[in-house]
Chain A
């Protein structure tokens, strides 16, 4: 368990550094990518492309392994079919993301800048997650 926690902290470190280096921590940069009809900034496409390279290699390696390094099995959900909850959730998320340019990772990373806007957004985001838990009941840990 300790090895897994240390791995989580290390991976979080890399993730947080990546958000700052790519400037995805800056909502204006993200909104400029989403603003296709305006002064378009392609940064987010390069971030996704850069991220998919190592992660695709890792998921390819995974197919050849029985278990991860620090656990007895993989906890990756089986590929299922899209459903109403998936699409409905993605629509609501896209709406919120497009309104201010913050998604969960960058919002949490932005807390270190001390901007009150990041704190307010993250508080509301946690409230939204709790409301989902209370209304849709059952815990849905990993059904990606």
Chain B
């Protein structure tokens, strides 16, 4: 990635933070995507969460709108099918066991100064960077 321009990530980050902030002040809940996803498919108790389904539907619609009118994403996935399955299982299981992901712990947890979220965020950031480092060391490039 040699096309870094700080305005795009800054603007996108503001939108994500605005989303998390509005979700807190309107519904009183944390905008954590792993938790919302688990709730949407009925894993957190009382049936399929309408809020979870609504939020995830909104993500799909918002991503489609932004792709059409603001910025066409150029997605590069070089991972093989078995690797995608292994990584998906790890992300799904890990985010439930650890009670959150990049949004719930990273954005919302740090914003409310939660010690648990700070520990979780530092842990998954460090492990993810170490994983990339080891993968490059072993394969000589991205998998």
A and B bind: yes
**Interface residues on chain A, number (Cβ under 8 Å):** 124
Q: Are A96 and B112 in contact (CB under 8 A)?
A: no
Residues of B with C-beta under 8 A to A50: 9-14, 16-17
Q: Are B92 and A126 in contact (CB under 8 A)?
A: yes
Main secondary structure of the interface of A (DSSP, over half): helix
Q: Are A23 and B12 in contact (CB under 8 A)?
A: yes
Q: Are B101 and A104 in contact (CB under 8 A)?
A: yes
Q: Can you list 27 residue pairs at the A/B interface with Cβ under 8 Å? A: A4-B26, A8-B51, A11-B19, A12-B58, A13-B65, A14-B16, A16-B59, A16-B61, A20-B12, A50-B13, A53-B17, A73-B28, A77-B30, A79-B116, A80-B116, A96-B87, A98-B128, A100-B77, A100-B83, A103-B102, A109-B60, A118-B77, A120-B84, A121-B87, A124-B89, A131-B89, A144-B104
Residues of B with C-beta under 8 A to A102: 87-88, 91
CB distance from A83 to the nearest CB of B (A): 8
Q: Are A14 and B62 in contact (CB under 8 A)?
A: yes
Q: How far is the CA of A73 from the CA of B96 in the complex (A)?
A: 24
In the complex, given contacts A9-B54, A15-B15, what are 9 additional A-B residue pairs having Cβ atoms less than 8 angstroms apart?
A14-B16, A19-B12, A19-B16, A36-B129, A50-B16, A92-B98, A94-B128, A95-B128, A108-B37
Q: How far is the CA of A9 from the CA of B113 in the complex (A)?
A: 26
CB distance from B141 to the nearest CB of A (A): 9
Q: Are A142 and B29 in contact (CB under 8 A)?
A: yes
Q: How far is the CA of A37 from the CA of B85 in the complex (A)?
A: 26
Q: Are A93 and B62 in contact (CB under 8 A)?
A: no
Residues of B with C-beta under 8 A to A98: 127-132, 135
